[in-house]
Amino acid sequence: MASSRLSLNSPDVIDLAAVMDAFEQINSVTIALTGRVVDVGGNRCLRFLVEAHDSQREIGEVPSLGFVSVVLGYGSHKTVEGALMWALYQLDWKLAEAELEKTKATK
């Protein structure tokens, strides 16, 4: 089962880790990933829940700042790296929307 695609030293995993680290630093969040096997149309797929939490608080102490669910193996996502990159873009959008709403509410 071991392969270079699944290695923690593969370029894709190293790049994804760098992107996630940068995302956390820029947005002052901690990213939490949860994965599980799901059945989608009779196909076994992986579903990831990608959550952003306030980096100044413990995860679970307060609700997440935003989350995105992404399915791998069904539809357009064929690699873990691609699915998680898509999820980070979606999460960034959700965090920006929440920040905009908070700004509007304080005016």
Question: Using one digit for the tens of pLDDT, what is the confidence trace for 49-74?
Answer: 999 999 988 888 888 899 999 988 76
Ranges under pLDDT 50 in the chain = 1-2, 4
CA 45, 6, 93, 58 torsion: positive or negative? Answer: positive
Average pLDDT of the residues of the chain: 85
Which domain, by its residues, includes 23?
Answer: 4-100
Residue 13 lies in a domain: yes
Residue 106 lies in a domain: no
Q: Which two tokens stand for residue 84?
A: 């998680």
Q: How far is residue 46's CA from residue 59's CA, in Å, rounded to a whole number?
A: 23
Residue 107 lies in a domain: no
Residue 30 lies in a domain: yes
CATH number at residue 25: 3.30.160
